[in-house]
Chain A
Amino acid sequence: MTTTDPNELRNAIRALLESKKIRTFIGWEQGSNAFRSRPLFLRSPDEVGNEIFSPACTPCLVRMIIEDLRYPLDKPDDKRPLGIALRGCDDKGVIELIKDRRIKREEVMIVGVDCPGTVDWTKAKKLIKDRKISTDDIVNGRLIWKDRGIAIATPSGEISLEREKILMSKCLDCEGHTPRIYDVLIGKEDTKRIPAEPPKEVRELEARSPDEKYEFWDDVFSRCIRCYACRNICTYCHCEECAVDPTTLAIAADSIAADKANRPEWVGRDSTDSSNGFYLITRAYHGTGRCISCEECDRACPMRLPLRLLNRKVRKDAKELFDYDAGKSVEDKPLLSETCDNDPGDFIW
């Protein structure tokens, strides 16, 4: 069960829009079926009403703040903050954006919500098949939190679904239902903070021999189609220019020919396992001290590659090597911008 009352949430959003303190409110709307939702942009009080807050609210909305940096949602001269609904896991993304100095705290108006976990469509699909849930219920039903679990509410009653079989894996390891930073909190603050353990799978992989590890990852790399969905949905991939398509800075109206001709080509456009490996390893590495394990990459991947295993690894290393948690506090300095005399160095001759 969530302590966030939908009416209270609606009133809070409407009040924000009425006060004209924010330019746009980013929330969720019901998606293509009961299990899915998509970002919703509300710009005036009379648009309020389509927003939802349910177990279908899986997408992390922080990405929309990053999208707004490059493709402004509103007129560029509108300097009012963006309103956004954040859960206990998403706020770490905002904290990292502030730490990386992409946004200032006052540029976002955070409406905290109490999220007991959202559904993973890939898992839901399996459950639909196993439980023989009817097409009508899939299309027209609506998900609700029920006691400790989840149910589909339909005109003919509720179908309860096993929590373990349908929630995102990050939700099964939830570190806290409500955000650490917020301007308004709708619901009861979750004071328990349970730091997630790195998944067993990471430890199991670490224990394998180099060739066994490579066999596992080569299979993953070879299936990547280089759509860059993992990068484009990521809360730490907010660079103006990416190593895999470095043009944004070189190709501008006033850039000189030599800069354009000499821009680096780190990796070809082929999707062979080698080039994909270059891309995925580089991306994972850039998450050192910045990845918040939101597992959006894992969810976005159309080939359903286990990308969380890469990101959980760098998160685990940041913790073990430097006792560093991404997304813990806006007061922390970015991990790789600092150094310390006592950093580990036993791998150096």
Chain B
Amino acid sequence: MTQTEGHAPKVIAFLCNWCSYAGADLAGTSRIQYPPNIRIIRVMCSARVSPQFVLKAFLEGADGVLLSGCHIGDCHYLKGNLSARRKFASFVNLLQYVGIEPQRFQMSWVSASEGGKFADVVTKFVNELSGLGPQKKLVVGDRLDEIISSEVPS
């Protein structure tokens, strides 16, 4: 892993509608600075996000995926974030087991009032990703390009 200097990671962030999305909004309206690398996808609840979403993001070339929801006890749907926590506890292990760096997927609880925490989470996450360099392990476009470039006339 050389060439990490100057790498601007692409991050997909799944934010729950009720807390983390509002937290991100607050960070914005409060003009708290955080890296502009994230592409936010608003979901109704952190439980809406399936591990497939994370894999799909990597497949399409994301360098990191962030999933953020309400703090435990604050879920708009009572148990959604508990369900997300349980789902991802084992998925995180599996991702690491197949060789995806643990830093590439992160979960956080950010409430609607935690604009500062949201900025901190994003900053810390993006910094870690910058250190890792681009994610090249699960990118389907790279593989299709390799098929094309393997057909070079000799």
Contacts and interface: CB of A to CB of B under 8 A. Distances in A.
Contacts of A169: none
Contacts of B72: 341, 345
Contacts of A340: 82, 86
Interface in B64-115: 72, 79, 82-83, 85-102, 106-109
Contact of A277 (B83, B96, B98): B98
A281 B53 CA distance: 12
B49 interface: no
Contact of A285 (B51, B82, B86): B51
Interface stretch (B11-19, B33-41, B138-146): B138-146
A232 interface: no
A272 interface: yes
Contacts of B102: 210
B59 interface: yes
B55 A339 contact: no
B59 A278 contact: yes
Interface string B27-57: 0000000000000000000000001100110
A116 B98 CA distance: 33
B121 interface: yes
A46 interface: no
Contacts of A347: 88-89, 92, 107
Nearest to B59: A278
B55 A272 contact: no
Contact of B85 (A277, A313, A338, A343): A343
A348 B138 contact: no
A317 B92 CA distance: 10
A165 B111 CA distance: 58
B56 A278 contact: yes
A284 B97 CA distance: 11
Contacts of B108: 348-349
Most A-side CB within 10 Å, residue of B87, B98, B106: B98
A345 B56 contact: no
Contacts of A215: 99
Interface of B: 51-52, 55-56, 59, 72, 79, 82-83, 85-102, 106-109, 121, 124, 137-140, 142-144, 147
